[in-house]
Amino acid sequence: MSDTILVGTDGSDGANRAVAWAAATAAVHGDVLRIVSAVNIAGLYYGGGAPLGESMLNDLQKASEGFVREAEALARSLRPGLRIEGRTQPEAPVPLLVEQSRDARMLVVGSAGRGQFLATVLGSTTSALVGHAQCPVAVVRGRAVGGEVPDDGPVVAGIDGSPTSERAIAVAFEEASLRKAPLVALHAWSDVVYDSARATARLLPQWESLVADEERLLAERLAGWQEKYPDVEISRDVRLDRPRHALLELSERARLVVVGSHGRGGFAGMLLGSTGQALVQHAGCPVLVVRPEVTR
């Protein structure tokens, strides 16, 4: 496992919140904080297609270097003694972050960007990073848009039995242990509207046995991890609900939500499932999306 927390910055308020959260995360892991900024020179052209002049490119490079210096100062003020690296490169943001993620424990981005670095972090950029990064991707969100990022409450893990869900369990237990936080293991196992499901339940005499089966599934998924992390206080939450509804509800009192990049409902080519999309756009706390294991 790498000992680096990677965070992207463009000098925006959202990026600064991401830097602060990444610094705290690096501190609890005992990791290096690597702060990266990029100047997306490709596509920076005048309306007629002529490239920008050298002086303007230099200005953009200096601005990017300034973003890194400001982020380093912020991180040091919050976490004195933290090991910090700063990097600036004239490269498109997504390819740069994907490449840098190869030797990172976690990639951290803000929930909104200024436009140069993470222009559409809630759209194509986040999907691209989640789909191609070589490590888990954290999108830092607060209780409200632009609001304070919570540092209390439980870590919540969304569990559905998929391979990425299994990896998310491992990450969630580690984060809960290091942050000295309780863990809520959520298994919302129906993809239909709750009221409709209740109506169906009245027609199915085996409904209670189905619920019991889902509870056993969750217990089996957690058994080994509870032994590995005996310090983590865990509560199980099995409910008849759409996963995104349940996770969004829990995010309003959580410090972190951990999910796989897609679960049972995923399909080939899908970069970020509907549950993950809903969380990175609307959750009330940071969201950590765990990708399938990749060969480095």
pLDDT band at 112 (very low <50, low <70, confident <90, very high): low
Q: What is the pLDDT of residue 46?
A: 46
Domain range summary for the chain, segments of one domain joined by +:
4-140, 155-290
Q: Residue 163: name the closest of 86, 263, 95 by CA.
A: 263
Average per-residue pLDDT for the chain: 81
In CATH, the number for domain 4-140 is 3.40.50.620
Q: What is the pLDDT of residue 99?
A: 93
- Whether the predicted pLDDT of 75 surpasses 90: yes
Q: What is the helix (H) or strand (E) element at residue 246, kind and residue range?
A: helix 243-251
- Whether the predicted pLDDT of 49 surpasses 60: no
Burial annotation 123-132 (CB, 10 A radius, 16+ → b, else e): eebbbbbbbb
Domain 155-290 has CATH 3.40.50.10800: no
Q: What is the pLDDT of residue 1?
A: 56
Q: Which of 94-98, 174-178, 241-245, 291-295 has the lowest mean pLDDT?
A: 291-295
Are the beta carbons of 82 and 76 closer than 8 angstroms? yes
- Whether the predicted pLDDT of 231 surpasses 90: yes
- Whether the predicted pLDDT of 184 surpasses 80: yes
CA dist 237 and 84 (Å) reads 38
Burial of 95 (0-12, 13-18, 19+ CB in 10 A): middle
271-287 per-position pLDDT tens digit: 466 787 788 888 999 99
207 versus 231: the higher-pLDDT residue is: 231
Supply the DSSP symbol for 52. P
Q: What is the pLDDT of residue 267?
A: 34
Supply the DSSP symbol for 80. T
- pTM as predicted: 0.84
CA dist 183 and 214 (Å) reads 19
16-41 per-position pLDDT tens digit: 999 999 999 999 999 999 999 987 65
Given the DSSP bridges, would you call strands 137-140 and 287-290 parallel, antiparallel or unpaired? antiparallel
Amino acid making up residue 70: E
The token pair at 152 is 């209390």
Q: What is the pLDDT of residue 117?
A: 47
